[in-house]
Amino acid sequence: MRIKIKNRTEIDKLRAANIIVRDVLSLCGDLIKPGITTWDLEKASREYIEKVGAKSAFYKYQPAKTMQPYPAVLCTSKNEKVVHGIPSKKEVLEEGDILSIDFGVIKNGYCGDAARTFAVGNISETARNLMTTTKASLEAAIKKMLHGNRLSDIGHAVQTVVENDGFNVIRDFVGHGIGQDMHEPPQVPNFGRPGRGLKLQNGLVLAIEPMVTEGDWQVDIREDGWTVVTKDRKLACHFEHSVAITEEGPFVLSA
């Protein structure tokens, strides 16, 4: 699949899908508190996208025939879970947890995709610092989304912020292009040397998603085939925005 450059009409359609994503993540943030389950968040999200006439980009997603289709509209990844945690009626949020929520929709044929990590009540200083750093690394990456820069400038910005603060970047999962398909070329690693790879140009739309861990960057995948956890079971954090490169600069579609 080739890299697809979007025109203004397509960027507007991507913006409309991403507004729904933004609103669902905000809805989840308002609901999060000790005692609720990740399935409570799933249920509320399903109801919202039905109300606005959107379709989940995640539900029944099957990237390979050997994998089970994804069974939910949200990815809810608590504490040591990095990404792709499956909502459950048995998973109760507790004081001190952090919860990453990744969510995507399709609206009028175009995809939106974003993620945020939320604090559940009062959290540890380490967890708070991890969240602050991950969000800051995303903001640094977005600033590199300028016509004429190179693709690796994005990942280098993430890695620099993260490692300067004493954390590590997950290597096994990366950002991606986004448009009519949720995952389009190019892949966007969150690490690497600057000045390399694809030359960025106006109309390129990328989902930038730093995944950052308190400890080592290596991961395991659980028996469900989806849930990714840190190998050392230390905390992980995930923030993501879909961003278009425009003549006016980076346009954060999911903000």
79-103 residue pLDDT tens: 999 999 999 999 999 999 999 999 9
Task: Read off the CATH number of the domain in which 19 is found.
Answer: 3.90.230.10
pTM as predicted: 0.97
Does residue 1 form part of some domain?
A: no
Evaluate whether residue 130 is within a structural domain: yes
Number of domains in the chain: 1
Q: Cα torsion at 46, 52, 55, 57 (round to 10°)?
A: -80
Q: What's the pLDDT tens digit per position in 23-67?
A: 999 999 999 999 999 999 999 999 999 999 999 999 999 988 888
Average pLDDT over residues 161-174: 98
- For residue 133, being part of any structural domain is answered with yes
Per-residue pLDDT, averaged over 216-223, amounts to 97
Between CA 158 and CA 138 the distance in angstroms is: 6
pLDDT digits (tens, 9 = 90+) for 119-147: 999 999 999 999 999 999 999 999 999 99
- DSSP for 46-100 reads HHHHHHHT-EESSTT--SSTTSPPP--SEEEEETTEEE-PPP-TT-B--TT-EEE
Residue 54 is assigned to a structural domain of this protein: yes
Asked, for residue 33, whether it belongs to a domain, the answer is: yes
Range of the domain at 216: 8-252
Q: In this structure, is residue 191 part of a structural domain?
A: yes
Is residue 209 domain-resident? yes
Tell whether 205 is covered by a domain: yes
